[in-house]
Every structure is written in C-alpha cells, then in structure tokens.
Copies of this chain bind each other. A is one copy, B any other.
Amino acid sequence: MALIVQKYGGSSVGDAEKIKNVARRVAQTKDKGNDVVVVVSAMGDTTDELIKLAYQINERPDERELDMLLSTGEIISCTLLAMALEAMGYEAISLSGAQAGIRTDAVYSRARIQKVDPERVTRELEKGNIVIVAGFQGITDEMDVTTLGRGGSDTTAVALAVSLGAEVCQIYTDVEGIFTADPRIVPQAKKLSEIGYEEMLELATYGAKVTHPRAVELGELFNVPILVASSFTDSPGTLIHGGVSMEVRNKVKGIAHDLDVAKITVVGVPDHPGIAASIFEPLAKANISIDTIVQNASINKITDLTFTVAKSHLAKAMEVVKPIAQSIGASECVSAAKLGKVSIIGTGMQNTPGYAARMFGTLSEKGINIELITTSEIRITCIIDEAKVKDAVQALHRAFELEG
C-alpha cells in the first residue's frame, strides 16, 4: 500500500459533473489499496470572478484581503470533491491550507511554503479518509491566510508529497503529459514517458507551461517523482524524476518556445561596477520581471546591455530605463516588441559538442535571424522574430529527430 498525492487543476473541477469525474478517478486510486491525498484548485473561472469583484470595489485591493478572498475558491472545490466521494460511499474529508498545516511566510499573493505540519493529514489518513486539501493557500504564524501565487496548487501538492513521504505526486491537468514540442505547433510532437527534473525545469521556464517550475524544483530538491497526466483520459502521462542517468543521453529532449518577448537595449553603456545594478534595481522596484539579460564584451570600456521583458511590461520598463540610461551616460535606449524565444533542452547536450551549431544552422537554413543567444548547461535559447517562432520550432523538432 502506497501513499499517493494527486492534484487536479481548475479545468478538471470546473462544474459538478467534472467534480464527480475527478471523484471517480480518486476512488480508483483508493480502490487499488493506496492512501490518497488530493489537492484541488478553484473551480474553472472562480478565481478570476473573485478578482473582478474585488476590483469593482477597490482598484488596488490590499493583498492580505485579496488572498483571504481568493482562498475561498479552493475551499469550495475541496468540500465539493469530498461530498462527491462521500456520495460514492467513500470516507473523505476536506482541509483548508491552514488545517492541512501549510505554513508560509507573510508575503501575500506569492507566499513561500516554510514548512508543512502534516499531523492532521496523517491522522485523517489513519482513520481511512481520503484527504482533500485546498491548494494554492497557506497560513502565516499569525493565522493569516496567504496564497502561493502562480503554480501554487502544484506546489502545495509536491510539498505535501514531500512531507508525507508519498511514493509519487500525480499532477492531473488538461494535457496528456510533456511533449517534445507544443503539439499545436508540431503535430508530430511525441509525448515523453519520462524526463529529468532539470530538463523539465528548463522546459517549464522556457515556455512549456504544464507544470510550474516551483513545483518541479521542490520535487527535485526532495527527490519526489512527479507524474504529469490528463484528468480526462487514461493515457499514462510523463514521469518527472531524477533517476534517468542510465538512459542514453545523447539527445535533445524537447523544444520550448515563448511568444511573449520584448527587448530593450541600452546602447553605449560605460562598463564599470554598479552599472547593471543601477538599471535593474529600479526595474525590480517597479515590479517588472526581467527574463534574459545579455551583456556583450566591452570594447574601450563601452558595452551594450540587452534584456527581455514580457510585452505588457515594455512601455513601463522603457519609462523606468530611459532616464537611467541618460544619467549613466549611455548613448541611447532602444526597444523591440514582436519577438519570440525558441529553446532546445536536454541533459544529453551537456558534454557533447555540436548542438549549438546544429541549432544555429537549422535556423539559418530557414532564413531566421537570431537576435540574442543565451545558454545554460542543458539549454540553448535564441531570441528571434515572433513571426518565425512556429517555423523555428518545427524545423528544430525535425533537425533533432524528435518525431515519433
């Protein structure tokens, strides 16, 4: 008998019928003799509707109040799932984040889990209950309700799996697993049966929005395998785990892409200590997330500094950066929207030459100009024209022989 943590997202519990469907899946897992802990997100658009209501009342709702408001969405879905299981004759109990012992810091709207006190969950499991936990939420030392921000419910699920010593954390969603590329762009894309944590992290961060990087990081840190699969089919899904060292590692695992990229270049920056900080600290204060940063080698103590932001942040970022550029003596500050990002990812690339060359060659053959290049040990990313992203993904998928 194993302990299994399952997580179902908002689209999986969107209405009464879908909740009953999830209950049947949970019951199957219980029937196989497992202890089951289930983490659920809020039903469908509940969170968006609550946010809309809040903004009708206050254009800048207080984050503590907003977190307490939004936390109700997951409580509703978890009580309903418990009722659905009880209607099928199973013993089930719902727990709020507070009741499940999800302790966080007090950074509202994006709290981090500090620890999990699994005492109540364990006690309910021992009674024979299926335990349903409200995802996305926790509680501070002051008993104030927090939400975990993006990827919150995935993170709740993995954190519970870690603290309970679960065999696996199963994340059920509306896709069948992790693919070698986005199947909407590459119809031949193949579902991976397994992938390493690091590869998944690079994929997730670089555009494959199936599982949130936070959850994957947590899984990696405590070595909890994470299964990503569909809540609507019985397809086996993709297992994210650490034990893939024995497999042949000479391959790119997948192609990720992102269409939401804008670029700002500060031209002719005097290259001395403190310059980067003087640009990026004010951006951070203005709450603008910076993605890629590239600084070219300095020639005559003058360099160009380029970074990318989400398109929606471009105008605000330019407002912040222009006066700084002037004050530090840069010659100009230029921007471009309409960019995209394409990445090849795979631990097999790590000690093997030739992947970068093949990537650049493939893009070149397609007449695609590369605006920026960044790499990690297991990833190569090119920033290119937004309109060429689809072509690039398809060409790279072929070039690296990812087709089934």
Q: How many angstroms between the C-alpha atoms of A383 and B32 in the bound complex?
A: 61
Nearest 6 pairs of A and B residues by beta carbon: A72-B72, A58-B83, A69-B79, A58-B87, A16-B56, A65-B79
- Min Cβ gap A76→B in Å is 6
Instruction: Tell me, yes or no, whether A1 is within 8 Å of chain B by CB.
Output: no
Cβ of A71: which chain B residues have Cβ within 8 Å of it? 75
Instruction: Tell me, yes or no, whether A86 is within 8 Å of chain B by CB.
Output: yes
Q: How many angstroms between the C-alpha atoms of A79 and B93 in the bound complex?
A: 26
Q: Tell me which residues from 312 to 330 in chain A have a Cβ below 8 Å from any Cβ of chain B.
A: none
- Tell me whether B76 and A69 are in contact (CB under 8 A): yes
Q: Known contacts being A16-B56, A19-B57, A75-B72, is A83 close to B65, with CB within 8 Å?
A: yes
Q: How many angstroms between the C-alpha atoms of A59 and B20 in the bound complex?
A: 13
Cβ of A59: which chain B residues have Cβ within 8 Å of it? 87
- Min Cβ gap A84→B in Å is 5
Instruction: Tell me, yes or no, whether A218 is within 8 Å of chain B by CB.
Output: no
- Tell me whether A83 and B98 are in contact (CB under 8 A): no
Q: Tell me which residues from 75 to 131 in chain A have a Cβ below 8 Å from any Cβ of chain B.
A: 75-76, 79-80, 82-84, 86-87, 93-94, 96, 98-99, 120
Contact among B19, B62, B65, B83 for A62, CB-based, below 8 A: B83
Contact among B20, B69, B120, B143 for A80, CB-based, below 8 A: B69
Cβ of A143: which chain B residues have Cβ within 8 Å of it? 98-99, 120
Cβ of A20: which chain B residues have Cβ within 8 Å of it? 57
The tally of residues in A whose CB lies under 8 Å from a CB in B reads: 38
Q: Mark A30-68, 1 if CB is under 8 A from B, else 0.
A: 000000000000000000001001101111111011101
Question: Given A53-B76, A69-B80, 5 other A-B contacts at CB below 8 A?
Answer: A16-B56, A54-B80, A54-B83, A59-B87, A71-B75
Closest B residue to A99 by CB, please name it: B143
Cβ of A64: which chain B residues have Cβ within 8 Å of it? 93
- Min Cβ gap A129→B in Å is 11
- Min Cβ gap A26→B in Å is 14
A–B pairs, 27, beta carbons within 8 Å: A16-B56, A19-B57, A50-B76, A53-B76, A53-B80, A54-B79, A57-B83, A57-B87, A58-B84, A58-B86, A60-B87, A61-B83, A62-B82, A62-B83, A65-B79, A65-B82, A65-B86, A66-B79, A66-B83, A68-B75, A68-B96, A69-B75, A69-B76, A69-B80, A98-B98, A99-B143, A120-B143
